Amino acid sequence: MNSPLVTELLATLPEGRLLTDPDVTESYARDRTFLAPGKPVGVVLARSRDDVVATMRAATEHRVPVVPRGAGTGLAGGATATDGCLILSLAQMTAIRELSPQDEIAVAEPGVITADLDRAAREHGLMYAPDPSSYEISTIGGNLATNAGGLRCVKYGVTRDSALGLEVVLADGRVLDTGRRTMKGVTGYDLTGLFVGSEGTLGIITAATLRLRRAPSEVATVAAEFSSLVDAAAAVSAIIAAGCQPSLLELMDRTTLQAIDEWKNIGLEPGTRAMLIAQSEGSPDAMAALCGAASFVAVSSTPEEAAELIGVRRLAYQAKERLGQCLVEDVCVPRSALPRMIATIEEVAARHGVMIATVAHAGDGNLHPVFIFERGLAEPPPAVWAAADEVFRAALALGGTLTGEHGVGLLKKRWLGLEAGPLATELHHGIKQVFDPLGILNPGKAI
């Protein structure tokens, strides 16, 4: 027998928008983490803002929690279903409603694939700057929900820096327009910035006005191999301190490189313990010169070579998934503290006997230590949790943060109090109460 919510949605939504078969809904219940999902009552496949409005009105009337999701590429459990929830999938809202070369903006729905928006912009000599490693499969809505960063964020910032305005459906179905279409605007509180990074706990984003940038006419890429991960991190600090202004500055450790080499045969040398990949929209010579401790330095001579080097970095997470289940973290520290943070991660891995494969958006001090454990386990072993705890505490002690771009979701909630403190926590819950007084939007996540 259908629940009252399901009965209402079947009558309200167009045919085919609501899925209730448990074998089908299960495939929408989890993200890219190992977390075991709950059992949803159904899945709404929204294709328009009106579908979202109808869904939220019904969910409010029947007091049913709603878990929004995009492509399900999240790494913190933010899109994991809870028992009895309704999943609201925005993956079919794929329209780029507008792309204005004159104003250098685009208006995109949440299901637009990040790389597709970038490709559409490049037809006009523009680009969409945020580019998470999952940009070929992640969606604009998911990027907004977690304030995603990516490889180019060292120069162009994270998703919030490209979000000018939003169309948001609130918990009760009302529609709110935030922000503007202009590059500047300080009228009232920054509601756009508040929703970006809120992980679906304050409202459902159904469209975003996004800033586009002029695409560089040419880029050059430097790849440097090091016999020490700490030496590679020191080169990062030197490049930033010298004012080189790279458009990309990525670091990979030996474990990551070996996983990629075993998969794609990239010709990894035995003595290579780390690789630094840097990209410049001007001359790369200064960056190459600052990699003095490197055992090998190469500079791309063609766009194809540059793309091939960046492609190696984008393979990192998939290569690590081949080794086992992954607990993926994304601590961020001041850039000057990067060598110390990397040394700490190496020491923690050795002491706990845990495999940790680390990559970093090094120009931002944003590290992704990935804790790899045996496939098939319901959750990480105690040694992995202990190692992760030490890594988080070390990042905070260095003046850093628990998450640079993946969000808190479910996985980081156990450490949230270490960073937020009681007053900030109280204010977070007060904001949540204003926008979602019934607590039905992605409950248990983020705060």
Tell me, what CATH number does 44's domain have?
Answer: 3.30.43.10
The CATH number of residue 307's host domain is 3.30.70.2190
Question: What is the C-alpha separation between 235 and 260, in angstroms, rounded?
Answer: 23
Do residues 333 and 362 lie in contact, with contact meaning Cβ atoms separated by under 8 Å? no
Q: Give the pLDDT band (50/70/90) at residue 309.
A: confident
Output the pLDDT for position 1.
61
DSSP summary character for residue 393: H
Quick one: 57 and 26 in the same domain?
yes
Structure tokens at 349: 């891995």
| In a domain? residue 124 | yes
Asked if residue 335 is part of any domain, the answer here is: yes
pTM: 0.94
The amino acid present at 169, given as its one-letter code, is V
Q: Are 84 and 167 found together in one domain?
A: no
Spatial strand order in the sheet of 366-373: 296-299, 220-226, 274-280, 248-253, 355-361, 366-373, 325-328
- Rounded percentage of the chain residues whose pLDDT exceeds 90: 90
Query: If you average pLDDT over residues 339-349, what whole number do you get?
Result: 94
| Counted domains in the chain | 4
Q: Are residues 210 and 101 in the same domain?
A: yes
Residue 181, φ and ψ in degrees, nearest 5: -110, 0
Residues 8 and 28 in one domain: yes
Q: Is 295 domain-assigned?
A: yes
Q: How confident is the model at residue 219 (pLDDT cuts 50, 70, 90)?
A: confident
pLDDT at position 301 is: 85
Question: What is the per-residue pLDDT for 281?
Answer: 87
* Whether the Cβ atoms of residue 156 and residue 144 lie closer than 8 Å to each other: no
pLDDT confidence of residue 306:
86
- What mean pLDDT value characterizes the chain? 95
User: Are 224 and 246 within 8 A, CB to CB?
Assistant: no
Alpha carbon of residue 278 to chain centroid: 21
- For residue 104, the enclosing domain spans 96-214
Arithmetic mean of pLDDT, 184-188: 92
Same domain, residue pair 208 and 221: no
What was the pLDDT predicted at 14?
96
Alpha-carbon distance of 221 to 152, in angstroms, equals 13
- Mean pLDDT, range 276-293, rounded to an integer: 91
- Angle formed by the axes of helices 382-397 and 416-435, to 10°? 80
User: Is 446 contained in some domain?
Assistant: no
| C-alpha torsion 367→373→378→379, nearest 10 | -40
Yes or no: say if 410 and 35 are a contact pair by the CB < 8 Å rule: yes
- Residues 123-171: tens digit of each pLDDT: 999 999 999 989 999 999 999 999 999 899 999 999 999 999 999 999 9
Q: Are residues 301 and 345 in the same domain?
A: no
The whole-number pLDDT of residue 320 equals 95
pLDDT higher at 185 or 200: 200
Do 233 and 332 share a structural domain? Answer: no
Q: Looking at residue 302, what is its pLDDT?
A: 86
Helix (H, G, I), strand (E, B) or coil at 420: helix
Residue 243 CA to residue 44 CA, distance in Å, equals 49
pLDDT tens for each residue of 357-388:
999 999 999 999 999 999 989 899 999 999 99
Three-state secondary structure call for residue 403 = strand
Pairing between β-strand 220-226 and β-strand 296-299 as defined by DSSP bridges = antiparallel
| 289: Cβ contacts below 8 Å, ≥ 6 apart | none
**Which of these three, 197, 214, 231, is where a domain ends?**
214
Q: What is the dihedral of CA 332, 333, 337, 340, to 10 degrees?
A: -50
Q: Is residue 437 assigned to a domain?
A: no
**Alpha-helix runs per DSSP H in 70-224:** 114-122, 140-146, 153-156, 191-195
Quick one: 371 and 408 in the same domain? yes
Considering the domain architecture, whether residues 309 and 210 belong to the same structural domain is answered as no
**Span 45-97, pLDDT tens digits:** 999 999 999 999 999 999 999 999 999 999 999 999 999 999 999 999 999 99
> Does residue 271 contact residue 304 with C-beta atoms inside 8 Å?
no
